[in-house]
Structure 1
Amino acid sequence: MNNKPTIHDIAKALNINSSTVSRALNDSPRVTLKTKEKILKKAEELGYKRNVLASSLRKNVTNTLGVIVPRISRHFFSSAIQGIEETAYLAGYNVIICQSLEQLEREQSIVNGLVEKRVDGVLISISMETLNYQHLEIVKNSNIPLVFFDRHCNEAGNSNVLIDDFKGGFDATEHLILQGNKNIVHFSGPNELEIYKNRLAGYKAALKKHNIAFNPENVIVTRLMEDDGFKSMQTILNLKQKIDAVFSANDMAAIGAIKCIKQSNLKIPDDIAIVGFSNEPISTVIEPSLTTIDQSGLEIGKTAAALILSYIENKQIPEKGENIVLKANLIERNSSKRN
């Protein structure tokens, strides 16, 4: 049984037309200030609450953003979500947070669900399995603004908020070279994803600058989980050719490598130096502390949210898309510094 007061109850109590009550509650200029005040007072007395969802749907807006990330548990993505939510809240928007768990099928289902919920915009960092983007066409065809952040697809017309992955990969590798390392292994993610392509390109560019030949066998491609880093390091240590450093495309695989090296009774960085990427909180407390590339998830989230809100508020999505690239910073710690 529904006992919630309606506009009809307010109208009956004041002996006025329901349409006048509706206009007053929507702050229409067609209703005098005196009548508005009388209606608002009676609405409060009766405990009337507006149906915000119904009102939003009538206006074809929901004041809601959909956010899709690979894993909420990753510090970078939780920080990005924080930045998105803070920016959205200040603009009067709510956020629906979803995680793909690195699965394309799950990501496809989430995208369809967000469109069905009539979100006003979608922010996405694609999964490792996302090698084509047909499932995102439904967003564009529904005239819903779409912004990629961190992991993106390099197609014309898309808007992206990224860090400079190439420069991050270059700086990480050059730092290892300047510490005296020559045979540097790179732990990469799937090379179909632009961020890992760019980090690998930065690695290659640093080797070339310092006249070190690129060896394809020194690039190990995994899903960059901690266990992947551990197993990759085991494989490396069993090779006859000695390596002296590792640049990992994320911190988790780098931490797995550190654990494997320590179990092998080798010293870090004296025997093998390590640099990661993303500046996870654990990178400061693991022993030795991990040199890494800082990518501010908070800043990326705020920037991505501000961009999509500008599209929504202006009711205009640029045909050519926009790219916003933020700076990546090297944070030097004990895993790479040689005396």
Structure 2
Amino acid sequence: MKKKRTSITDIANALNVTPSTVSRALNGGGKVSEKKRLEILALAKNLGYRPNPIAKSLLENRTHTIGLIIPEFTHHFYSRMLAGIESVTSKAGYQLLICTSNEKQKQEIKSTHALLDARVDGIIATISKMNDKFEHLQEVMDSGTPLVLVDRFSEEIETPYVISDDFNGAFTAVDFLCQNGCRNILHIKGPENLSTTFNRFMGFKEALRKHKIELNEDLILESSDPNLIENIRSCLKDFQIDGAFTYSDYLAFEIYKVANDLNISIPNQLSVIGYADEPISTYLSPTLSTVNQQPFEMGVTGAQYLLNKINNPEIELEFKNLEAKLVIRESCMKRKLQIQ
């Protein structure tokens, strides 16, 4: 049989005081003697009393829950970001309600409505890569529920966000390749709709421009192309590719596989840089150079921005671009530039 939950009334009856006296003692209110307060606290602990969260939320008009929408759990980047978020929210007394979109717009919309129905105090979200409509996020803000975007953002949504500086992250990576003699650099782009794809591609182009290298459209591949592997193979066979920069570490792995099939040595013939500093980057041989986006710090900052908005709805919108840090490993050969 299920054990009956101890209530304030049970404690009050046991000590022959009113329920309001017990409530004040438990919540640190006044008009209760120190002796009686300690007696009430001791009995409450003895009986295993736990506050009723529903009653508390009705009283405070807060549920002390925060909704989180991320594309997936298995991605190392999002697990680190989640750890950063939770390090802040748990200390502040909030529980997380976590939903995954699986990078699908319909699932993201469904998750958004589920969190609103659960009366969460705020929502942190990463926009799914298949998302090109944002009415559901506008609905969140129109309801008065604070919203913070992390990792990806849209200029259509006027809300706080925390992202990595993808432009400079990509620029630094490709600049390094150029400084070390690479002139024919292959780039594999990310999903078309994402701000991260655009910013990384812009950083890529700016680094080429700095080194007076003409952009070759034949060396720009789309990750969504079903013929991606064959396209990589064609580029490596038909062009003297000496460098590659990819939207993600997993796309860099695809280059590793094709290069191995073609007996192209990394880094002796081909330098490769990925993006995100996933665990796979250290498991590959040679280890993969990449760009670290500081996902833990992104989660921490996003959670802080949300709590700021919950506690002060009138606070000015906060934005942050976190530094993206280049991590050079074994997949890049430092070459000396030839003097003409």
Question: What TM-score do you get using the length of structure 1 for normalisation?
Answer: 0.90
1:324 and 2:316 matched: no
Q: 2:19 — aligned with what?
A: 18
Question: How far apart, CA to CA, are the structure 2 residues paired with 1:228 and 1:168?
Answer: 27
Aligned length: 334
Partner of 2:233: 234
CA contact (8 A) 1:6 1:48 kept: yes
Is the partner of 2:90 in helix, strand or coil? helix
Equivalent-residue separation in structure 2 for 1:19 and 1:91 (angstroms): 26
State the distance in 2 between where 1:41 and 1:172 align. 61
Which residue number corresponds to residue 177 of structure 2? 176
Contact 1:222 1:228 in 2 (8 A): no
Structure 2 distance, partners of 1:166, 1:288, is 26
Deviations 1:265-305 (A, max 9, x none): 11112332211111112212211111111111111111111
Per-residue deviation, 1:2: 6.0
The offset of 1:317, in angstroms, is 4.5
Helix, strand or coil at the partner of 1:185:
strand
Deviation at 1:7, TM superposition (A): 2.1
- Find the residue that maps to 1:246 and give its secondary structure: strand
Tell me the alpha carbon deviations over residues 3-37 of structure 1, each in whole angstroms, 9 at most, x when there is no partner: 22322222322333333333333322243434333
Separation of aligned partners in 1, 2:46 and 2:277: 54
Q: Deviations over 1:187-206 (max 9, x none)?
A: 11123211110100011111
Which structure 2 segments of 5+ residues have no match? 336-340
Gaps of 5+ in 1: none
Flag the 1:251–1:229 CA change in 2: closer, same or farther, 3 A. Answer: farther
Contact 1:68 1:100 in 2 (8 A): yes
* Cross-structure match for 2:333: 337
Report how far residue 231 of structure 1 moved: 4.9
CA distance in structure 2 between the partners assigned to 1:263 and 1:195 by the alignment:
30
Verify the 8 A CA contact 1:172 1:293 in the aligned structure 2.
yes
* 1:235-275 C-alpha deviation (Å, 9 max, x unpaired): 4345x333322110111110121112112211112332211
Q: In structure 2, do the counterparts of structure 1 residues 18 and 107 end up closer, same or farther at CA, with 3 Å as the change threshold? A: same
Secondary structure of 1:96's aligned partner: strand
8 Å CA contact retained: 2:130, 2:193 = no
User: Of 281, 293, 296, which aligns to 2:294?
Assistant: 296
Query: Higher mean Cα deviation, 281-290 or 90-99?
Result: 90-99
The change in CA–CA distance for 1:298 and 1:47 in structure 2 (over 3 A counts) is closer
- Partner SS state of residue 192, structure 1: coil
Provide the rounded CA distance (Å) in 2 between the counterparts of 1:231 and 1:151. 29
Report the equivalent of 1:257: 255
Distance in 2 between the 1:144 and 1:19 partners? 32
2:338 maps to none
Q: Deviations over 1:81-100 (max 9, x none)?
A: 11111121222222222221
Amino acid at match of 1:214: L
The residue correspondences of 1:208-247 to structure 2 (distance < 5 A) are: 208-223=209-224, 230-237=229-236, 240-247=238-245
3-state DSSP of counterpart to 2:123: strand
**Equivalent pair of 1:230/1:253 in contact (CA under 8 Å):** no
- Secondary structure of 2:158's aligned partner: coil
Letter in 2 for 1:233: I
Match of 2:265 in 1: 267
Q: Distance in 1 between matches of 2:217 and 2:31?
A: 73
- Quote the residue 2:88 is aligned against: 87
- Whole-Å Cα distance in 1 between the matches of residues 37 and 210 of structure 2? 72
Residue aligned with 2:99, SS:
strand
1:26 alignment partner AA: N
For 2:146 and 2:108, the matched residues in 1 are separated by 17
Please tell me the residue identity of whatever aligns with 2:103: E
Maintained 8 Å contact 2:185/2:242: yes
CA distance 1:45–1:295, shift in 2 (3 Å): closer
Report if aligned partners of 2:221, 2:228 keep a CA contact under 8 Å in 1. no
Structure 1 counterpart SS, 2:10: helix
Query: 1:287 and 2:271 equivalent?
Result: no
- The separation in 1 between residues aligned to 2:194 and 2:315, in whole angstroms, is 24
Which secondary structure state, in structure 2, belongs to the residue aligned with residue 90 of structure 1? coil
Deviation at 1:105, TM superposition (A): 1.0
Q: Aligned equivalents of 1:276 and 1:142: distance in 2?
A: 40
> Aligned Cα RMSD in Å?
2.2
